[in-house]
C-alpha cells in the first residue's frame, strides 16, 4: 500500500484524505438514519390516540418533539391542533423542511467526494503523462524506468480516484433514496394526524351544539 502511495505521487494523499472522510460520513449516516431512530414503530398510532384527548399535557408534546424526527413533525401539528387545517399543514411543512435538512446532513459533502475523486484521479493521470513525456525529452525512449514510472503514476491515480468515487456515489444515492422514503412516510403519518385532529374537532363541535340548545331552551 505504501509503495502504491509513493508511486501515485502527491495526488494520492488528497485521495486518501477524502476516502477517510467519505467512510466517516457513511458510517455516521448509517447510524443516524436507522429506521427506529427516524420513524419509531407505532409512534404515529400512539400520537393519534393522544390527539383524541382535548387536554394534552404540554410536557408530553415536548417529549414527543425530542423523541425523533417523526415526533418533531407530529409535535408541530399538536402545537396548533386548535387552528384550521391549512394552518396545521403549513406548520408541518415548515418544521418538515428543518427536519429534512438535518436528515440530509453531509449528503452534499458525500456527493462532492463522489464527483471530485475521479477528477483528482484524472489530475494524477495528467501529471503522470507529463512526467512521462518530460522523461522522454530528457532521456529519450530508451529509459524504460522513467517510462514505467510515468505510466504507473497515471494508472494508479486513475484507479484510486475511481475506487473512491464508486462507493461514495453508491452510498450517496442509497441515502438519498432512504431519506426520500422516510419523508414520504412522515408525510403520511402527518396527514393521518391532521385527519384525526379534524375529526376530533368536528365531534366536539357536534357535541357542543345539543348542549347549547338545551341551555338556551332552559
Residue by residue, DSSP assigns 138-207 as HH-TT-HHHHHHHHHHHHHHHHHHHHHHHHHHHHHHHHHHHHHHHHHHHHHHHHHHHHHHHHHHHHHHHH
Question: How confident is residue 12, by pLDDT bands cut at 50, 70 and 90?
Answer: confident
Query: Is the pLDDT confidence value at 4 over 80?
Result: no
Q: What is the largest CA-CA distance in the chain?
A: 115
41/29 Cα distance (integer angstroms)? 20
**Structural domain boundaries enclosing 115:** 2-124+164-213
Is 148 part of a structural domain of the chain?
no
Is 182 part of a structural domain of the chain?
yes
156/127 Cα distance (integer angstroms)? 12
What radius of gyration do the chain's Cα atoms show? 29
Between 55 and 138, the higher pLDDT residue: 55
Cell matching residue 172: 450517496
**Eight-class DSSP state of 84:** -
Q: What is the pLDDT of residues 52-62, one digit of tens each?
A: 877 788 888 89
Query: Is the pLDDT confidence value at 38 over 80?
Result: yes
Is 144 part of a structural domain of the chain?
no
* Percentage of residues in the chain having pLDDT higher than 90: 52
Is 77 part of a structural domain of the chain?
yes
Least confident of 18-22, 57-61, 136-140: 136-140
In which residue are the cell numbers 423542511 written?
Answer: 97
Is 195 part of a structural domain of the chain?
yes
Is 8 part of a structural domain of the chain?
yes
In this structure, how many other beta carbons lie within 10 angstroms of the beta carbon of residue 82?
11
Is 200 part of a structural domain of the chain?
yes
Confidence (pTM): 0.82
Q: How many CA atoms lie within 13 A of 149 on its CB side?
A: 14
Chain centre to alpha carbon of residue 174 = 10
Is 117 part of a structural domain of the chain?
yes
The sign of the torsion formed by the CA atoms of 107, 113, 116, 117 equals negative
CA-angle at 27, arms to 21 and 32, nearest 5°: 120
Domains contained in the chain, number: 1
Amino acid at each position: 500500500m505504501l509503495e502504491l502511495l509513493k508511486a501515485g505521487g502527491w495526488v494520492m494523499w488528497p485521495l486518501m484524505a477524502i476516502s477517510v472522510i467519505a467512510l466517516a460520513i457513511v458510517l455516521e449516516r448509517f447510524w443516524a438514519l436507522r429506521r427506529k431512530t427516524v420513524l419509531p414503530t407505532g409512534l404515529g398510532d400512539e400520537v393519534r390516540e393522544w390527539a383524541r384527548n382535548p387536554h394534552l399535557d404540554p410536557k408530553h408534546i415536548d417529549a414527543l418533539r425530542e423523541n425523533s424526527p417523526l415526533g418533531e413533525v407530529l409535535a408541530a401539528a399538536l402545537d396548533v391542533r386548535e387552528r384550521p387545517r391549512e394552518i396545521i399543514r403549513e406548520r408541518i411543512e415548515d418544521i418538515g423542511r428543518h427536519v429534512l435538512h438535518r436528515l440530509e446532513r453531509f449528503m452534499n459533502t458525500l456527493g462532492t467526494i463522489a464527483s471530485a475523486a475521479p477528477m483528482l484521479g484524472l489530475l494524477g493521470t495528467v501529471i503522470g503523462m507529463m512526467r512521462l513525456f518530460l522523461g522522454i525529452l530528457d532521456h529519450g525512449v530508451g529509459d524504460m524506468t522513467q517510462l514505467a514510472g510515468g505510466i504507473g503514476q497515471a494508472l494508479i491515480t486513475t484507479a484510486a480516484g475511481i475506487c473512491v468515487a464508486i462507493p461514495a456515489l453508491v452510498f450517496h444515492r442509497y441515502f438519498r433514496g432512504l431519506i426520500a422514503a422516510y419523508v414520504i412516510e412522515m408525510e403520511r403519518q402527518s396527514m393521518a394526524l391532521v385527519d384525526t385532529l379534524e375529526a376530533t374537532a368536528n365531534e366536539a363541535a357536534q357535541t357542543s351544539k345539543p348542549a347549547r340548545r338545551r341551555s338556551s331552551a332552559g
